[in-house]
Amino acid sequence: MNFCSHCGKSTCLKVPDGDHRERHVCDHCNTIHYQNPRIIAGCIPTSGDRVLLCKRAIEPRRGYWTLPAGFLENGETTMEGALRECQEEAGAQLHNPLLCGIYDIPHISQVYVFYRGPLINDTFSVGDESLEVELFREQEVPWADLAFPVISRALEHYFADRQAELRGVRSGTVIKRLC
């Protein structure tokens, strides 16, 4: 951040009094600009023993498969955001969605929140951000072509919980892989 969103003057990185982290601080009006993690809300839409995946039509990872998910908008609950993304990306609606996973990704300052639920009338369609939308059984999931590690983790947890007939909320941290 180069300029203050409050007064338009330049900012600098420093640790404000009473704080313990570097922040962007306005040199003119002393406004402290906090940068916090982004929340991504998504769904694991299901139909029997299958999950609905979307092939991305946008970068990053265009052409790779993912769950319908995206950045939470201001004024939305995580469930509202997840259901909106499911509708936008997969033309799908869920019946009685339940919270099923929260995943921290600290190296990119993101938190993913997933809800699972059955498709209403097994209806889905391609959205503006999707090239394809398809239902997959666990053994059919294109595991090597999933867009992000968090999608793999969420699906692994979903299928394991389904097999064990567990209905709790999973959580975890996705660590950056070293090349």
Q: What local confidence, expressed as pLDDT, does residue 111 receive?
A: 98
What tokens does 43 get? 């769904």
Residue 115 CB burial class (10 angstroms; 0-12, 13-18, ≥19): buried
Q: What's the domain range around 106? A: 38-173
pLDDT tens-digit series, residues 120-166? 999 999 999 999 999 999 999 999 999 999 999 999 999 999 999 99
Q: Are residues 6 and 29 in the same domain?
A: yes
Tell me the C-alpha distance between 84 and 115, whole Å: 12
Q: Are residues 79 and 4 in the same domain?
A: no
CATH number, domain of 76, equals 3.90.79.10
pLDDT tens-digit series, residues 78-92? 999 999 999 999 999
Q: Are residues 94 and 60 in the same domain?
A: yes
What tokens does 8 get? 């338009």
SS3 75: coil
Amino acid identity at 96: N
Q: What local confidence, expressed as pLDDT, does residue 104 receive?
A: 97
Q: Are residues 9 and 45 in the same domain?
A: no
Q: What local confidence, expressed as pLDDT, does residue 115 receive?
A: 98
Tell me the C-alpha distance between 145 and 56, whole Å: 11
Q: What local confidence, expressed as pLDDT, does residue 176 receive?
A: 82
Q: What local confidence, expressed as pLDDT, does residue 179 receive?
A: 59
Q: What local confidence, expressed as pLDDT, does residue 57 receive?
A: 98
Q: Are residues 11 and 25 in the same domain?
A: yes
Q: What local confidence, expressed as pLDDT, does residue 177 receive?
A: 73
For residue 3, name the pLDDT band (cuts at 50, 70, 90). very high
pTM above threshold 0.85: yes
Q: Are residues 3 and 88 in the same domain?
A: no
Q: Are residues 17 and 95 in the same domain?
A: no
For residue 69, name the pLDDT band (cuts at 50, 70, 90). very high
DSSP string, 118-178: EBSTT-----TTEEEEEEEEGGGS-GGGBS-HHHHHHHHHHHHHHHHT--S-EEEEPPPPP
Whether residue 178 lies inside any domain: the answer is: no
Q: Are residues 23 and 53 in the same domain?
A: no
Q: Are residues 4 and 59 in the same domain?
A: no
CATH number, domain of 11, equals 2.20.70.10
What tokens does 1 get? 């951040």
Q: Mean of the per-residue pLDDT values for the chain?
A: 96
